[in-house]
Chain A
Amino acid sequence: MTFQERYLLKVEGLTVSFDGFKAVDDLSFYIEPNECRVIIGPNGAGKTTVLDLICGRTRATDGSVTFRDNELLKMREDQIVHAGVGRKFQTPSVYEDLTVFENLEISYPSGYSVFGALAFRRNENVQQRINEIAETIFLEDMLSEKAAFLSHGQKQWLEIGMLLIQDPELLMLDEPVAGMSVAERKKTAELLKRIIQDRSVIVIEHDMGFVEDIATRVNVLHQGKMLSEGSMAHVKADPKVIEVYLGH
């Protein structure tokens, strides 16, 4: 297997500076197909910024992010999505004035242009796919409810569903279980385990039990730099990580 084929995402020398402050500093890592990478680190380590840089929300100062053959740093946000990168935000971002069905429908990968959207029709395929996803995210009975009436956890699931319907090759999740009740958390863990199977995933998470459960490899960030990388066991034993993050 060549280097090109081995990695789905290559992040090399990624740097962003805000008025001289380097939030992410010369960061490099590689993601393989079907791997679940978890990024951990203390507050302000630059975890969310890394995801922002990959999906184009923040423009990098330096470095390169290659997704298959595409240089993501030169692409517009919507083009990055079309290349196959999906992003879930930390706070649930759903369209409150639309129904669950309509929320999912907007993410259905068709009719992206202005006139495509005007001509878009709900056909059998669209409905079948939406029903399928709704079942996966436990919302099959809520399709005609407005998203505003969902609970916090259900909104998180809905946003995950909106990403799933696009079937991205790389899925980036920012604290998917934060703010959830114990029951919701358990259900979400089950959901995530199911959906990470046939794609690559980058997850930011603080819940160590959860991380241990899903991670193939773990990156530990600290002050915008890579502190440690490896399996969970490796990272846990790393004295530097214990010093700044896990505690003695």
Chain B
Amino acid sequence: MTFSKTPLFSRSEIIGFAVLAVLIFLILPTFLGTFRLNLFGKYLTYAFVAVGLALCWGAGGILSLGQGVFFGLGGYCMAMFLKLEASTPENTSIQSTPGIPDFMDWNQLTELPAWWIPFHSLTFSLIAVVLVPVTFAFFIGVAMFRRRVGGVYFAIITQAFAAILTILIIGQQGYTGGVNGITDLRTLNGWNIRTGEAKEILYYVNGVLLFAVLFVAHFVRKSKLGRILIAMRDQEDRVRFSGYDVASFKIFIFCLGAAFAGIGGAMFTLQVGFMSPTLVGIVPSIEMVIFCAVGGRLSILGAVYGALLVNWAKTSFSESFPELWLFGLGGLFIAVVMLFPNGLAGIWTEQIMPRLSKLWTARARRAPQTHNASTEKRGAV
């Protein structure tokens, strides 16, 4: 038996990635109009968060109920840049202080706050999209994981952070746009992001970024670090007494999840054209966990499908029965946890794949060759 060949992608993983690429880059753009495509682009921004959760929660066993915080921070960093670009003195000449964002003017601010100034730079803003969520996650991670806070307690504290950030954004209306969020975003470095063509281009950019994130996540899962995460989830003490500083691994994966969520948030702002505290709070954070759970928390590709499917269901459902959606979502979560703990990905690998491979071997058996056993084994993995 040899283990020397450990390719980064197995055959079934290549197929999985390829199918998702065909869906995102060919099928959806071909069959959807600009409006619906933009909606699916929005759904895919949540997939960034769900992929991060598949690593943190699925592999590492760290359940965060506050991923909306990082999604929001990334989104706000992007929105601040776009808002500043939209608030030229000419555009805002009717304000009492022209050249500052409109909501600041309504709140009697007469000058741009110092911490807004760096967001005039696109480069700074793009770095901040990743770095602000990561820094915040790092401090939460150090504070929690070094003290060995974990499990339910960690989940509750992250949820508290989601509540705190929402309240802070709403309360500091003059600096953050308050409950309305940052709206009326128009151009990115002079490029109008509100045209149909721009939305289509942004959809593809979003897709490419999502695949970049998926590749990073896949690389992490396939590395020894990925196996250490799973080991930590099962036997944290054994990992610790095998010579690993468990906390630093948890901090790393939590920060990586935050970076993914931040990118997703920025792409949300670009495609939807605003950012508001309703995307930061407790409810959206829990929804993000449900996307991941429905997709199958162990699978990064499953997380993408989960985000797409639940959001699509949400849109279709809430168009016809707006007041029933939250019950539907709750019911869906309970059903997944009770019936399919490994979500869509679990149904695929446990139910569909074995049947397919059975079919495959049955057909191969009819042919006179005798290499069936090997195909059967490969299919079962």
Contacts and interface: CB of A to CB of B under 8 A. Distances in A.
A225 to B, nearest CB: 27
19 contacts: A55-B241, A77-B240, A78-B245, A81-B242, A89-B238, A93-B235, A93-B238, A95-B227, A106-B224, A112-B244, A112-B245, A114-B248, A117-B225, A117-B228, A120-B223, A122-B3, A122-B4, A122-B6, A127-B3
Contact of B224 (A57, A78, A103, A120): A120
Interface in B199-234: 219-220, 223-225, 227-228, 230-231, 233-234
Given A57-B241, A106-B239, A159-B238, 6 more contacts: A78-B243, A81-B242, A97-B233, A105-B227, A114-B252, A122-B4
Contacts of B249: 114, 117
B253 to A, nearest CB: 9
A144 B1 contact: yes
A98 B231 contact: yes
Most buried by B among A114, A122, A144, A166: A114
The 6 closest A-B pairs by CB, nearest first: A81-B243, A117-B225, A93-B238, A120-B224, A95-B231, A117-B224
Contacts, number: 92
Task: Indicate the size class of the contact surface on chain A.
Answer: 35 or more
A143 B223 contact: no
Interface in A107-161: 107, 109, 111-114, 117-120, 122, 124, 127, 143-144, 159
A124 B2 CA distance: 10
B74 to A, nearest CB: 22
A106 B73 CA distance: 35
A77 B241 contact: yes
Q: Which secondary structure dominates chain B's binding surface? A: helix
Contacts of B111: none
Contacts of B233: 97
B237 interface: yes
Contacts of A120: 223-225
B235 A94 contact: yes
Interface in A52-77: 55, 57, 76-77
Contacts of A144: 1
Task: Indicate the size class of the contact surface on chain B.
Answer: 20 to 34
A127 to B, nearest CB: 6
Contact of A95 (B219, B234, B252): B234
A87 interface: yes
B242 to A, nearest CB: 5
Interface in A74-103: 76-78, 81-82, 86-87, 89, 93-98, 101-103
A78 B238 contact: no
Nearest to A148: B234
A120 B223 CA distance: 7
A241 interface: no
A162 interface: yes
Nearest to B232: A95
A95 to B, nearest CB: 4
B3 A98 contact: no
A93 B237 contact: yes
Contacts of B6: 122
B225 A114 contact: yes
Most buried by A among B2, B230, B246, B249: B230
A55 B219 CA distance: 33
Contacts of A93: 235, 237-238
A130 to B, nearest CB: 8
Most buried by A among B2, B237, B244: B244
A97 B224 contact: no
B238 A112 contact: no
A76 B246 CA distance: 11
A102 B223 CA distance: 11
Contact of A106 (B2, B220, B227): B227
B212 to A, nearest CB: 17
Most buried by A among B1, B2, B220: B1
B242 A162 contact: yes
Interface in B1-20: 1-4, 6
B237 A57 contact: yes
Interface string B309-336: 0000000000000000000000000000
Nearest to A87: B241
Nearest to B235: A93
Given A106-B224, A118-B225, A122-B4, A112 B234 contact: no
B17 to A, nearest CB: 20
A36 B261 CA distance: 53
A105 B6 CA distance: 13
Contacts of B242: 81, 106-107, 162, 166
Interface in A165-203: 166
Nearest to B252: A114
Contacts of A118: 219-220, 223-225
Nearest to B242: A107
Given A97-B230, A98-B230, A127-B3, A111 B241 contact: no
B234 A111 contact: no
B228 A106 contact: yes
B234 A97 contact: yes
